[in-house]
């Protein structure tokens, strides 16, 4: 039996912190009430909010220069599940993990599913990988996968995606996320038109393999690893693809996959309107696809995105059912600490967006009261909703202070003992 953080430790820490927490929660409730906002519906909404953790996220990430492995890293999918479960145990915000294939391949998927269930977590969208070559693979993806010039390579990439669906079915997943690295590095290298045409042809075969209750998420990215053009470069291309494929296809927004200064929340609003918003890969960035921790660099942007989501949910936008996942690279932190903190930051943006007086904002917008509207909107962002997040965790059996309990538990030191390093273990980033 491997080490898990005991419930008694969480309860003990919560007990010690409870008087101060109740004081803070009460004060926030009164402060919000003065603005005509009830705290309880926000706390209930935050309690019900869930964001998936990617299985690869619990390993240390890296850059193209180097990777500095952390101590006690998970050495395979079963140990990754343990770490994902620990994040959920303390935060109660991450009930599912999102597997990546072939990195998480096993021989017995019912065993994997049972192990996850025993740890209290399930499986979210399955991620396919056609951006690197596997040792047992016949053809190379060096010049592309689903948009390769060679039909045989495209067929191999289609077959991999269909296999991902089969594995996902065994795990209880309901969606396939497809991100392709296809693109070009030189002007003239490839036909911008034909590459998209053959991609659509190949994706139609993947789409045909989706079970009735599944969706396929198309993830766009402006650059990397190709630096001149990528085939699925932006939300417009993604939307064209989703509309060409059918109602089960939708567009996934990774916050790091846009040009600098792009108004991402407006893209979100447009995709909601088109009924094609699949969901998010949350992270933060300064320069490009930095994969920094969610809410660490630009929490206001995260709030702006969540305001659009809260608005869409409140007006019951047709087809609005986004899936949420963290997609970050933890290069210099303990990944468990980063993922707990990030789950909390995503919930924070959600709670702040719920703390906006929407009726007052609409009235100010309609009256062209520019500064009034801005102040009403900003008031949500400026609300310190930390007591709401803590209360939501406490009510679900989580920790008032997840980071404090995690550090006090000595979890990582225990994993260092349990997980002696093995050669060739893989951890990575997407
Ligand atoms: Mn992503």
Condensed to tens digits (0 to 9), the pLDDT of residues 80-121 reads 999 999 999 999 999 999 999 999 999 999 999 999 999 999
Q: Are strands 249-254 and 96-98 parallel, antiparallel or unpaired?
A: unpaired
Give the C-alpha separation, 63 to 95, whole Å: 28
Asked whether residue 425 carries a pLDDT value surpassing 70, the answer given is no
> Are 387 and 395 within 8 A, CB to CB?
no
Q: 429: CA distance to ligand 1 center in Å?
A: 9
Q: 285: CA distance to ligand 1 center in Å?
A: 13
- How much is the pLDDT for 424? 59
Query: Rounded mean pLDDT of 415-427?
Result: 78
- Ion ligand 1 residue ranges (Cβ < 5 Å): 254, 281, 327
Q: Which residues are CB-neighbours of 430 under 8 A, at least 6 positions away? A: 54, 56, 100, 127, 131, 179, 327
What's the pTM?
Answer: 0.96
Condensed to tens digits (0 to 9), the pLDDT of residues 234-280 reads 999 999 999 999 999 999 999 999 999 999 999 999 999 999 999 99
* Residue 324: alpha-carbon gap to chain centroid: 5
Q: 336: CA distance to ligand 1 center in Å?
A: 18
Asked whether residue 331 carries a pLDDT value surpassing 90, the answer given is yes
Q: 327: CA distance to ligand 1 center in Å?
A: 5
Q: 69: CA distance to ligand 1 center in Å?
A: 21
Asked whether residue 430 carries a pLDDT value surpassing 60, the answer given is no
Query: Rounded mean pLDDT of 165-180?
Result: 98
DSSP string, 217-285: EEE--SSSS-SSEESS-SHHHHHHHHHHH-TTEEEEEETTSS-TT--HHHHHHHHHHTT-EEEEEE-B-
Q: 281: CA distance to ligand 1 center in Å?
A: 5
Q: 158: CA distance to ligand 1 center in Å?
A: 20
Give the C-alpha separation, 304 to 250, whole Å: 21
Could you tell me the strand order of the sheet in which 122-123 lies? Answer: 53-54, 96-98, 122-123
Condensed to tens digits (0 to 9), the pLDDT of residues 349-376 reads 999 999 999 999 999 999 999 999 999 9
**Residue 144 backbone class (left: φ over 0; alpha: ψ -120 to 50; beta: rest):** left
Give the model's confidence band at 428: pLDDT under 50 very low, under 70 low, under 90 confident, else very high.
Answer: very low
Q: 317: CA distance to ligand 1 center in Å?
A: 24
Q: 32: CA distance to ligand 1 center in Å?
A: 35
Give the model's confidence band at 1: pLDDT under 50 very low, under 70 low, under 90 confident, else very high.
Answer: confident
* Residue 192: alpha-carbon gap to chain centroid: 29
Higher per-residue confidence, 427 vs 204: 204
Look over the chain and give the mean of its residue pLDDT values, rounded to a whole number: 97
- How much is the pLDDT for 426? 53
């Amino acid at each position: 039996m491997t080490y898990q953080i005991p419930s008694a430790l969480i309860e003990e820490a919560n007990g010690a912190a409870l008087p101060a927490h109740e004081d803070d929660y009460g004060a926030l409730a009164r402060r919000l009430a003065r603005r005509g906002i009830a705290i309880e519906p926000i706390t209930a909404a935050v309690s019900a909010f869930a964001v998936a953790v990617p299985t690869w996220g619990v390993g240390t990430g890296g850059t193209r220069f180097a990777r500095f492995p952390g101590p006690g890293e998970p050495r395979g999918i079963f140990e990754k599940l343990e770490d994902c479960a620990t994040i959920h145990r303390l935060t109660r915000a991450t009930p599912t993990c999102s597997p990546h294939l072939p990195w998480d391949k096993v021989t017995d998927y019912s065993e994997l599913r049972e192990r996850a269930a025993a740890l209290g977590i399930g499986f979210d969208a399955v991620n396919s990988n056609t951006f690197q070559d596997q040792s047992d693979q016949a053809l190379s993806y060096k010049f592309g996968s689903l948009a390769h010039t060679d039909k045989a390579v495209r067929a191999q990439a289609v077959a991999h995606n269909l296999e991902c669906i089969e594995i996902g079915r065994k795990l209880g997943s309901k969606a396939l996320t497809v991100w392709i690295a296809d693109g070009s590095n030189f002007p003239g290298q490839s036909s911008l038109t034909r590459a998209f045409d053959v991609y659509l042809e190949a994706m139609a075969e993947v789409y045909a393999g989706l079970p009735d209750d599944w969706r396929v998420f198309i993830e766009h990215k402006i650059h990397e690893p190709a630096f001149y053009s990528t085939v699925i470069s932006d939300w417009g291309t993604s939307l064209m693809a989703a509309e060409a494929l059918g109602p089960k296809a939708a567009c996934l927004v990774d916050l790091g996959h846009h040009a600098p200064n792009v108004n991402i929340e407006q893209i979100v609003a447009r995709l909601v309107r088109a009924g094609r918003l699949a969901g998010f890969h949350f992270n933060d960035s300064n320069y490009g696809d930095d994969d920094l921790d969610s809410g660490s660099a630009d929490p206001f942007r995260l709030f702006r995105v969540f305001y659009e989501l809260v608005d869409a949910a409140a007006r019951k936008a047709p087809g609005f059912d986004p899936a949420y996942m963290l997609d970050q690279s933890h290069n210099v932190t303990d990944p468990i600490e980063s993922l707990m903190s990030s789950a909390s930051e995503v919930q924070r943006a959600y709670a702040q967006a719920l703390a906006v007086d929407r009726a007052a904002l609409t009235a100010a917008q309609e009256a062209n009261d520019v500064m009034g509207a801005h102040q009403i909107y900003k008031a949500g962002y400026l609300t310190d909703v930390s007591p709401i997040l803590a209360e939501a965790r406490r009510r679900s059996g989580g920790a008032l202070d997840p980071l404090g309990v995690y550090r006090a538990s000595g979890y990582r030191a225990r994993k260092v003992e349990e997980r002696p390093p093995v050669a060739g273990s893989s951890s990575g980033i997407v």
